Amino acid sequence: MKHPFAITLDSGSSLANLTGSWRTDRPVYVDRLPPCNHACPAGENIQAWLYHAESGDYESAWRALTQDNPMPAVMGRVCYQPCETACNRAKVDDAVGINSVERFLGDEAIKRGWRLTPPKAETGKRILVVGAGPSGLSAAYHLRRLGHTVVIYEAGPVAGGMMRFGIPKYRLPRDVLDAEIQHILDLGVELKVNSKVENIRDTMKAGGFDAAFLAVGAHIAKRANIPAGAAAKILDAVQVLRSMEGQEKPLFGRRVVVYGGGNTALDVARTAKRMGATEAIIVYRRTRERMPAHDFEVEEALEEGVMMRWLSTIKRMDEGVLTVEKMVLDDKGFPQPTGEFETLEADSLVLALGQDVDLSLLDGVPGLELKGGVAQVDTNMMTGYAGIFAGGDMVPSERTVTVGIGHGKKAARHIDAWLRGAVYAPPEKHELADFDKLNVWYYADASKTVRPTLDMARRKSTFEEVQKGLDESNALYEARRCLSCGNCFECDNCYGVCPDNAVIKLGPGNRFQFNYDYCKGCWLCEAECPCGAIKMVPETI
C-alpha cells in the first residue's frame, strides 16, 4: 500500500465517480439566429463579420461581409439599418453601430485596395442582367462569383441606378459608389451602358444568354393631379435628383415646396437648400410620426433648416403661390380634409409622391404576371417565364438599396440552381436569439459611438458628405459592442462556471464540448451564457 489505508487518497481519484448520472436536463450548444442577421434584407451575416472586426482583422471582416454584400461602403451610408433596429443591444444601451462599422470596412477596402474574391472555376453559362442598380450589381456579383459569365445592360449612361440618380451626393459620395461598382466589374462582369433592353427575349436570344435577371428599377415619377396655373413651376423628384448628376442643374427659385413624406422628399428638400433655396418646405398630409421617411433623415433635414408642414394637402398651384388644405387624422390615422384652406408662397413645387416601373421590356413575354405596376415573382425570384428572374424595385418589395442588394443575392442563388436544373434550398433558419435568451450582465457598459457630422455651414451650402466615418479605434470599439446574440463567441463562461468541470475547452475557434460523464445538469452554464448559445433539453429517462 502506497499510502496509509483510507485516510490518504490519490490525487484526483474522484474521476471514477461519474456524476453525470445525476442529470435530468442536459445542456447542448446551439447556434441561434442573431436579430441583426434576421432583420437584414441583404441577408448579411452581420455578427460573423463583426466577430472579425472585433479582433481588428478588418480584411477578414470585409471578406465575410462581401460574401453577402459587395457594396459595404455604399450600404454603410445609405442603408436604413433594420439590423440596428432589431439589435438586442438597443435594450441594454444603444444598438451596435453596425452600419458605421460596415462603412468603415467598405472604406477601408477601398483605401487599402482589397479585391473581391474571383470565382474558382467558370461554368460557361451566360447570364443577362438588366439594370446596373443595386439589385443588378448584386446579382451580377453573386452570379460571377459562382463562375457564370455576366453581362449587365444598363439603359443609362453610367452604372449605379437609384444609388446614383436618387441619392444625393452628400449622402453617398460618387467616388465611393464608383469604387465599389469597379470592385464588381473587376471580377470580370461586363457592363454595357446606354443599352436599354427593349425586349428581353430578343436580347437574351441575341446574346446567347441562359438566363436573365431583370432589375430595371422604378424611375418614373408618380404624378398628382394638382390644378395649376400656367406659370406654375411643377417638377418631379426623380427628374430633379437625376438632373443633379448631369450638367444642367435644376432651377428651383428661392422658395421650394416639396410634396410628399418619403425619403425622396427629404432628399429633394435638402438638395434644394444646397442649391441656394432660402426656403425649402415639405408638405405632407399626415404627421411626422407617420412619415415614411427615416427619422434620422428628418432630423438632419430639420437641422439644415428644411421646414415641415404637416397635415396638409396641396389643392392647386398658381404662380408663386400654393393653396393648401389643412387635414385632420381620423380614428384610423387617415388624413381627412377639414375645408380650411391656406396659401403658401412657392417659386416651385417638387412632387415626391413615389415612382413607377417601366415594364415595357416585358411586353409579350408569355406567362408573365404584372400586378400593381410591378412584376410578380415566385419565392425563387423567377417570373412566370422560366429563366427570367426579377428583383429590386420592379418586384413587390420595400424599395431600398438594401432590399435590392438582397434580391440580387437571392436571385443569383436561384438562377444558379435553376441553371443546374436544381432548386436552391436555403439553409434552415435557426431559432431567433431573443433578448431574453441573453445574460447581458457580462457585457461591459458602452454606449454607441456618435459618428461625426459635417459642420452646419458646409452642410447647407455644399454637397460634402454629411456623416463622417469612424476611425479605426472607434470602429473597433463599435464592433466590440456586438453581443454575439445566439452564437458562441468563446467567452469561456460555460467552461468557467461549471462547478463540476464538465465543460471541455477545445481551443481557439473550436468552441466547447460538454463532458456528460460529469455534468450534473445544474443549468449554470445555460444561465450564465451571455449570448444564449446553450440550451437545456430534458434527458430521456
| Binding positions for another protein, rule: CB under 8 A | 3-19, 22, 54-60, 112, 441-446, 472-473, 476-477, 480-484, 489-493, 495-497, 499-502, 505, 507-508, 515, 517-518, 520-524, 526-528, 530
**Minimum CB distance to another protein smaller for 4 or for 367:** 4
In the bound complex, what is the minimum distance in angstroms from residue 384's beta carbon to another protein?
47
**Minimum CB distance to another protein smaller for 16 or for 425:** 16
Is residue 437 helix, strand or coil? helix
**Minimum CB distance to another protein smaller for 352 or for 482:** 482
Q: Which residues contact 226 (CB under 8 A, 6 or more apart)?
A: 234, 314, 315, 316, 317, 349, 351
Three-state SS for 300-368 is: HHHHCCCEEECCEEEEEEECCEEEEEEEEECCCCCEEEEEEEEEEECCEEEECCCEECCCHHHCCCCCC
Distances from the Cα of 373 to the Cα of 76, 161, 222, 263, 442, angstroms: 30, 19, 11, 21, 51
Which residue do the cell numbers 425570384 mark?
381
In the bound complex, what is the minimum distance in angstroms from residue 434's beta carbon to another protein?
18
Give Cα 435 to chain centroid, integer Å.
Answer: 22
**Minimum CB distance to another protein smaller for 271 or for 484:** 484
**Minimum CB distance to another protein smaller for 112 or for 254:** 112
**Minimum CB distance to another protein smaller for 229 or for 496:** 496
- What cell numbers appear for 127 in the block? 447570364
In the bound complex, what is the minimum distance in angstroms from residue 302's beta carbon to another protein?
33
Q: Say how many C-beta atoms besides its own lie within 10 A of residue 115's C-beta.
A: 9
Partnered with residue 416 across adjacent β-strands are none
In the bound complex, what is the minimum distance in angstroms from residue 8's beta carbon to another protein?
5
**Minimum CB distance to another protein smaller for 55 or for 182:** 55
In the bound complex, what is the minimum distance in angstroms from residue 59's beta carbon to another protein?
5
Whether residue 96 contacts residue 482, with contact meaning beta carbons closer than 8 Å, is answered with yes
In the bound complex, what is the minimum distance in angstroms from residue 332's beta carbon to another protein?
42
Whether residue 159 contacts residue 191, with contact meaning beta carbons closer than 8 Å, is answered with yes
In the bound complex, what is the minimum distance in angstroms from residue 73's beta carbon to another protein?
17
**Minimum CB distance to another protein smaller for 2 or for 120:** 2
In the bound complex, what is the minimum distance in angstroms from residue 191's beta carbon to another protein?
31
Angle at 236 between CA 233 and CA 242, to 5 degrees: 120
**Minimum CB distance to another protein smaller for 47 or for 355:** 47
Whether residue 237 contacts residue 264, with contact meaning beta carbons closer than 8 Å, is answered with yes
Phi, psi at 221, each rounded to 5°: -70, 140
Calculate the CA dihedral of residues 243, 248, 254, 258 and round it to 10 degrees. Answer: -10
Which residue do the cell numbers 449587365 mark?
152
Q: How many CA atoms are closer than 13 Å to the CA of 153, on its beta-carbon side?
A: 20
In the bound complex, what is the minimum distance in angstroms from residue 450's beta carbon to another protein?
16
